[in-house]
Amino acid sequence: MKKEKAKDRIIRTASDLFYRQGFNSTGINQIIAEADIAIGSLYNHFSSKNDLLRAYLIKEETEWFKGFEEQIGNIDPPKDKIVALINYRKKLQDDSTFAGCHFIKIISELGDSNPLVSDVVKNHKEKQKIMIREILTQYDVEKKSLDIDSVAEHIFLLIEGAVVTSTIDKNADAFAHIKKIIQGLLP
């Protein structure tokens, strides 16, 4: 088995801690201890806790889109891709035992006090909207009946709302509800 590189171990450990207990509640010393590294090793790879936060957000975004691409890899009908997106978001919630979206959590903790975070989160969510629009464009090629921007915004908001609701309720019922709503949006 290949040994995990120190930088990867630092990012993995910090990511877990930032997600579970929050950025502000996670100290550098805790990251060092749980990653089982020397302080110099941390600072050889990251100049600051904010630099580590940036690496965390990049890692989460990369994994998010990679996971979605794997989810839709064998799916052709665009309507089925939208359903797959809902299923993917539900899976992320299930896997985290309804702990919520990494990006929503970090922006709710730090708000606009950290422009790096707010920019990354806004860009991540915008990429999701663009992805939904692209899928809807494939769906509507022949029908020409959708207001793609409006329907994409509705779908995005429904999914984000389901994530928040499932985090609060600690169950996935909201995802089943939005599937029914979205079926009505896509004739």
Judge whether 175 and 86 are in contact, CB under 8 Å. yes
Q: Could you tell me the pTM of the whole model? A: 0.91
The answer for residues whose C-beta is within 8 angstroms of residue 44's C-beta and 6 or more apart is none
**Is position 51 within any domain?**
no
Nearest to 159 by CA among 109, 107, 96, 84: 84
pLDDT for 185 equals: 87
Same domain assignment for residues 82 and 23: no
Quote the domain boundaries for residue 22: 1-46
Q: What is the CATH number of the domain that holds 5?
A: 1.10.10.60
What b-and-e string marks burial along 84-108, b requiring 16 or more CB atoms within 10 Å of the CB? bbbebbbebbeeeebebbbbebbbe
Same domain assignment for residues 153 and 106: yes
**Is position 52 within any domain?**
no
Nearest to 80 by CA among 125, 139, 163, 161: 139
Q: How far apart are CA 140 and CA 138, in angstroms?
A: 6
The answer for residues whose C-beta is within 8 angstroms of residue 122's C-beta and 6 or more apart is none
pLDDT tens digits, one per residue of 85-97 = 999 999 999 999 9
Per-residue CA distances from 105 to 32, 73, 100, 102, 139 (Å) = 23, 28, 7, 5, 32
**Mean of all residue pLDDT scores within the chain:** 93
pLDDT tens digits, one per residue of 111-167 = 888 888 899 999 999 999 999 999 999 987 766 788 999 999 999 999 999 999 999
Count of domains observed in the chain: 2
Q: How far apart are CA 154 and CA 164, in angstroms?
A: 15
Same domain assignment for residues 180 and 103: yes
Cβ atoms within 10 A of the Cβ of 47, count? 10
